[in-house]
Amino acid sequence: METASQNTCFGGIQGVHTHASTTCDCDMTFGLFLPAEAQDGPVPVLWYLSGLTCTHENAMVKAGAQGWAAEQGIALVFPDTSPRGDDVANDDAFDLGQGAGFYVNATQNPWVPHFRMWDYVADELPAVLAENFPLDMDRQAITGHSMGGHGALTLAMSLPGRFRSVSAFAPICNPTGGDWGRKQFAAYLGEDESTWAPYDSSLLMAERGFDGPVLVDTGTSDQFMELLRPETLAGAMAARRQEGMFRMQKGYDHSYFFMSTFMEDHVAFHAEALHAG
Amino acid sequence: METASQNTCFGGIQGVHTHASTTCDCDMTFGLFLPAEAQDGPVPVLWYLSGLTCTHENAMVKAGAQGWAAEQGIALVFPDTSPRGDDVANDDAFDLGQGAGFYVNATQNPWVPHFRMWDYVADELPAVLAENFPLDMDRQAITGHSMGGHGALTLAMSLPGRFRSVSAFAPICNPTGGDWGRKQFAAYLGEDESTWAPYDSSLLMAERGFDGPVLVDTGTSDQFMELLRPETLAGAMAARRQEGMFRMQKGYDHSYFFMSTFMEDHVAFHAEALHAG
């Protein structure tokens, strides 16, 4: 693992690190914010999964999360959203290929060799983090934005016991039912839609739910509302009596201006779960 | 004036607006954050002047200022750092020409026709703001980063009564004595160094000071320390018995990670002056 940069930030360190990923068969870069408390011992971890077109960097510089994480003594992990490189398959569309991994393991060519973001985020990167940094991997939580909200929700529900809490900003809630999902799942997973279901948070919510608190925020002026399909997840959460909050925030859109506004709430929500017991 | 975008943000509106500038003889773009209180009447204004290579956008998305401004009921103005356009003179260097206006009025060619950032920020943009938005122009304060810190300090000291408080993040403190300044002043103002002095905050501090509180933060690990020359301003502030604080922040560098860390302090500092009396 190589450290590309380190900046002092809110009393802690915002680092950027690169490692040779065996899962994605390419170099992968991630951001890691360590609060000052990490100098004295392992700290809890909040994962932040980003949306379409983003790298590890966008949320790291625009979401305004470090200040709140510093206040709570929590580390932040910012993974990339796909494998990258000249040898990695891509597509001209912004919503397929590099920058658009959708947190799935591809089973179809040309995506198979590298596009294994589910395994990368679920298995390889946690191992890299545990080995190299003072992180308490028994205290993990996860959040994300848009495609990353979809990733956070599906990972949290599919890995029971891994995350104490899950939240999402404007998540893609029902990818098997909308054009942010059907297009990508057909490409990455093939035409058999039964293979798509494990990657749909509304279906997972209906089937199993999450053993912990859930927080979802979406702006009422989100320009991608038809693609996000929040009503499916809200309905599934209510039908299951899922512990949690589903909020529609008046006037907010899909941007980082929306996300940064509610970041304090989300970090505090996760901190309560991470610091408990 | 045309509004390019508006995003709801911390209960207020982050707008981006473009107007035909007569001062710079080109279209100029600025960001303006209006807190919720602006719906009920004029609100105080905090100017934020950006550094080299920046447009109106960088601080707007990376400095994390809107949340604190919303809490204080204060508007934020993010001007561009230079005139722009295909017809506007430029230089291959990142620190001269477009993106590097240095908040001066150029007297030398090829810069004369457009590079009048002092007059733009001191006169034209305030008039545009006062005409179009619910701003209390009797309650203004100013801050900035690096080249923008230089701009904030020199404008504040040269326009007595305009700004109630001034602060700066890692400002260029003594441009007539360092390579971030001498190069640009020679190009924009010519070889007669007597014309440079009005644009040097250390010289202005020695000569007249500021009638109000001053706050300056610089990181001890700032990679551009030799160009910033903080010791000249600190010495001049102390010699004058200037009301204010000059802080060196251990471990911080020149980045937005540094600035965002101390943004809460700076907005609170200005809010105290803006809300007084």
Cα separation of A94 and A80, whole Å?
15
B8 and A67 within 8 Å at the Cβ level: the answer is: no
Task: Give CA–CA dist A23/A120, Å, rounded.
Answer: 6
Q: Do A67 and B221 touch (CB under 8 A)?
A: no
Question: What is the token pair recorded at B75?
Answer: 């508007």
Cβ–Cβ below 8 Å for A264 and B62: no
pLDDT digits 0-9 by tens, A260-273: 999 999 999 999 99
Tell me the β-bridge partners of A244.
Answer: A214
Backbone angles phi, psi at A168, to 5 degrees: -155, 145
pLDDT above 90: residue B277: no
Q: Which of B14, B252, B261 is facing A257, going by the closest CB pair? A: B14
**pLDDT at B8 (0 to 100):** 98
Select from B14, B61, B78, B266 the residue whose CB has the most chain A CBs within 10 Å, as the one to mutate to test that interface: B61
Please judge whether B7 and A66 are an interchain contact, meaning their C-beta atoms are less than 8 angstroms apart: no
For residue B266, what pLDDT band results from cuts at 50, 70 and 90? very high
DSSP string covering B1-16, please? -EEEEEEEETTEEEEE
Instruction: Say whether A258 and B61 touch across the interface (CB within 8 A).
Output: no
Cβ atoms of A103 and A116 within 8 Å: the answer is no
- Distance from the Cα of A23 to chain B's closest Cα (Å) equals 31
Nearest to B258 among A8, A219, A257 (CB): A8
ipTM for the complex?
0.86
pLDDT digits (tens, 9 = 90+) for A182-213: 999 999 999 999 999 999 999 999 999 999 99
Smallest Cα distance from A220 to chain B, Å: 11
Q: How far is B252 from chain A (nearest CA, A)?
A: 5
B129: pLDDT strictly greater than 90: yes
Q: Two tokens at A21?
A: 């990923």
Catalytic residue check, B211 = no
Q: Which residue of B has its CA nearest to A11?
A: B261
Q: CB A10 to CB B255 under 8 A?
A: no
- Which of B10, B219, B256 is facing A261, going by the closest CB pair? B10
* Torsion, CA A33, CA A35, CA A38, CA A42, rounded to 10: -70
Residues above pLDDT 70, as percent of chain B:
100
Which entry of B17, B254, B266, B270 is annotated as an active-site residue? B254
Q: Do B64 and A260 touch (CB under 8 A)?
A: yes
- Rounded-to-integer distance, Cα A226 and Cα A237, Å: 19
CB contact under 8 A, A260 and B67: yes
The arithmetic mean of pLDDT across residues B244-253, rounded, is: 95
Chain-wide mean pLDDT for chain B?
97
Set of chain A residues whose Cβ sits within 8 Å of the Cβ of B35: none
Q: Which residues of A touch B252 (CB under 8 A)?
A: 7-8
Count other C-beta atoms under 10 Å from residue B114's C-beta: 25
How far, in Å, CA of B92 to CA of B228, rounded? 22
Query: pLDDT of B97-123, one tens digit each?
Result: 999 999 999 999 999 999 999 999 999
Using CB atoms, which residue from A7, A66, A253 is nearest to B8? Answer: A253
Q: Label residue B15 left, alpha or beta by phi (over 0 means left) and psi (-120 to 50 means alpha).
A: beta
DSSP B41: S
B2, pLDDT greater than 90: yes
- Name the E strands within chain B: 2-9, 12-21, 26-34, 43-49, 75-79, 135-144, 166-169, 214-219, 244-249
Q: List the catalytic residues of A.
A: 146, 222, 254
Q: Any catalytic annotation for residue B194?
A: no
Strand partners, B168: B216
Please tell me the distance from the alpha carbon of residue A49 to that of residue A77, in angstroms, as a whole number. Answer: 8
Of B9, B67, B261, the CB nearest to A10: B261
Question: What separation in angstroms does the CA of B241 have from each of A59, B99, B110, B213?
Answer: 42, 34, 41, 11
Torsional sign, CA B183, B184, B187, B191: negative
Residues from chain A that touch B10, judged by Cβ atoms under 8 A, are: 260-261
CA distance B253 to chain A (A): 7
What's the whole-number average pLDDT of chain A?
Answer: 97
- Interface A–B counts its CB contacts (< 8 A) at 65
Contact across the interface for A258 and B11, Cβ inside 8 Å: no
- Please give the Cα distance from B125 to B45 (Å, whole number): 13
Angle of CA points B200, B203, B209, to nearest 5°: 105
pLDDT in tens, A249-262: 999 999 999 999 99
Other Cβ atoms within 10 Å of B153 Cβ, number: 30
Tens digit of each residue's pLDDT (9 = 90 or more) over B19-45: 999 999 999 999 999 999 999 999 999
Q: What pLDDT score was predicted for residue A145?
A: 98
pLDDT at A71 over 90: yes
Rounded to the nearest 5°, which phi and psi values hold at A29?
-115, 140
Placement of tokens 């054009």 in the chain? A179
- A31-57 mean pLDDT: 98
Q: Which residues of B touch A61 (CB under 8 A)?
A: 61-62, 256
Residue A11 reports pLDDT greater than 90: yes
The stretch A214-241 carries a mean pLDDT of 96
pLDDT band, residue A277 (cuts 50/70/90): confident
Candidates A8, A66, A253; nearest CB to B7? A253
Give A31 to chain B, closest Cα distance, Å.
13
Phi-psi region of B99 (alpha: psi -120 to 50; beta: other; left: phi over 0): left
